[in-house]
């Protein structure tokens, strides 16, 4: 391009100036030797000295212009290349952002158990889209009348049966125990000396992983 041609021209002038310095230095040495021998007048030595100094100054100026142009071109090339790289990075980032918008990231690993919107429906920001079943975090919930809690204390272990898995027996451990409040009370059949029996929510987790255990399956305690 035009910029590179200009640099080549300055390089040529610099080389020419260097050659001029070499010739001026040789002329200076010859005239100086003749002057020292008394053959050449001082005026001639002054002239050749001035020419040599001028050649050296010209060479320095040419070298400075060439160096500035070369470094400037390198910086420009680097800046241009960097601009192209940044432009490419911007394009890549834009495409990646579009790709990310095609995916939904769940807050936890699991299996999609239910999808709410239908194809083509608009979903508002913040609206739930699907349910995720965390199959690695399984537990069983029982609603137990308080007079049957004798063997279901915190940390206690017990056996239960899963009808959906061919009545498979599993071992569970209680980790949560809380009453459900008065709305879930068992009313006494007699008013004399009796009281309303509360219902407790008991949560227990399998001691060992149970294959094919799915959310919604019934688990029965034989009491």
pLDDT digits (tens, 9 = 90+) for 130-161: 888 887 888 899 988 888 888 888 999 999 99
Cβ neighbours around 48 below 10 Å, total: 21
> Are residues 121 and 172 both part of a single domain?
no
Residues 129 and 182 both lie in one domain:
no
CA-CA-CA-CA torsion for 165, 168, 174, 175, nearest 10 degrees? -40
Locate 45 and state its tokens.
Answer: 């030595």
Q: Check whether residue 72 and residue 146 sit in a common domain.
A: no
Q: Are residue 55 and residue 144 in the same domain, yes or no?
A: no
User: How many domains in the chain?
Assistant: 3
Answer whether residue 221 is part of any domain.
no
Dist CA 35 CA 43 (whole Å): 10
Instruction: Examine residue 213 and state whether it is found in any structural domain, yes or no.
Output: no
pLDDT tens digit string along 173-212? 999 999 887 666 666 655 656 677 788 999 999 998 888 8
Pairing between β-strand 168-179 and β-strand 157-162 as defined by DSSP bridges: antiparallel
Looking at the structure, tell me whether residues 68 and 121 fall in a common domain: no
| 18 in the same domain as 83 | yes
pLDDT value at residue 162: 93
Q: Quote the tokens at residue 209.
A: 């992983």
Structural domain harbouring 84: 2-100
Question: 122 with 144, same domain?
Answer: no
- What confidence score (pLDDT) does residue 2 get? 45
pTM, 2 dp:
0.45
User: Looking at the structure, do residues 21 and 89 belong to the same domain, yes or no?
Assistant: yes
Contact 112, 130 (CB under 8 A): yes
Task: Supply the Cα-derived Rg of the chain in whole angstroms.
Answer: 47
Measured distance CA(199)–CA(177) in Å, rounded: 11
Cα 143 to its chain centre, rounded Å, is 46
Q: Are residues 128 and 147 in the same domain?
A: no
**220 within domain boundaries:** no
> Per the domain annotation, does 44 fall within a domain?
yes
């Amino acid at each position: 391009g035009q910029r590179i041609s200009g640099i080549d021209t300055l390089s040529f002038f610099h080389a020419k100036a260097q050659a001029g310095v070499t010739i001026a230095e040789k002329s200076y040495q010859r005239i100086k030797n003749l002057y020292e021998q008394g053959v050449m007048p001082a005026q001639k030595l002054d002239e050749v000295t001035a020419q040599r100094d001028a050649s050296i100054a010209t060479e320095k100026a040419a070298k400075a212009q060439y160096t500035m142009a070369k470094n400037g071109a390198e910086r420009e090339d680097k800046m241009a290349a960097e601009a192209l790289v940044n432009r490419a990075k911007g394009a890549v980032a834009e495409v990646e952002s579009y790709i990310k918008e095609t995916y939904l990231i769940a807050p936890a690993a699991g299996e999609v158990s239910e999808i709410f919107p239908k194809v083509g429906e608009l979903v508002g920001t913040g609206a739930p889209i699907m349910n995720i079943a965390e199959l690695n975090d399984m537990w069983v919930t029982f609603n137990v009348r308080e007079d049957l809690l004798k063997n279901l204390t915190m940390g206690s272990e017990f056996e239960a049966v899963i009808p959906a898995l061919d009545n498979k027996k599993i071992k569970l451990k209680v980790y949560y125990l809380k009453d459900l409040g008065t709305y879930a009370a068992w009313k006494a059949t007699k008013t004399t000396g009796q009281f309303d029996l509360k219902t407790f929510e008991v949560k227990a987790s399998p001691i060992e992983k149970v294959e094919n255990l799915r959310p919604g399956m019934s688990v029965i305690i034989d009491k």
